[in-house]
Amino acid sequence: MTILAKESERGVQSVPIEQLIDRMERWENYSIAELGPYLKSLEIDEAWIDAHMPDPMPTDAYHRNLIYQGRRFEVVLATWPIGGGTLVHDHGSLSSLGSVRVLRGDIFNQVYRLVDRDTVKPVHREVFHTNDIVPVDHGLIHAMGNACQSVIAMSLHVYFPWIIDVSYWDPETNKRIPTRL
């Protein structure tokens, strides 16, 4: 597992992440109901989080670090600068499922729903705090971002299967952003 060499070079233990990957590789059937509590139970220490802060830190949007891509799932670390966030998006043509654990700070989850083929409408906004789990269910359309004005936030995302062919919507107009071919 390449992750091990990288982590030991930094002198930071990544045992919980190794356990997560190992367990996910062995699971027969993935479900949010099982993944969410397991992700929440992982003891990820502050030193690991500090060691994974991107340098340089993005000034807007967010930083995406693909930690691991298995045959049937992927693990992504997201770092959210102050004021940072995603566009409105879905989870791709495979309608991937998953769970997100907030590792540090507060993260908002703004949920949308389609009102016609190309237009979404905001329906629900919730703020999640450190160690909370955000479920990503079939068909979810949402935007996430840092909900705090003083703390850089970080979150660990596990998706199955991999996310491909994501659709985006403009948060100002709520209209679909055409994808370039």
The binding site for Fe cation consists of 89, 91, 142
User: Burial level of 13, CB count in 10 A (0-12/13-18/19+)?
Assistant: middle
Compute the distance between CA of residue 54 and CA of residue 57 in angstroms, rounded to an integer: 5
3-class secondary-structure state, position 100: strand
List residues forming the annotated binding site.
89, 91, 142
Return all residues near 48 (Cβ < 8 A) that are at least 6 apart: 12, 13, 14, 16, 17
Residue 110's beta-bridge partner residues? Answer: 125, 143
Return all residues near 57 (Cβ < 8 A) that are at least 6 apart: 63, 79, 81, 152
Return all residues near 133 (Cβ < 8 A) that are at least 6 apart: 36, 37, 39, 40, 99, 100, 101, 102
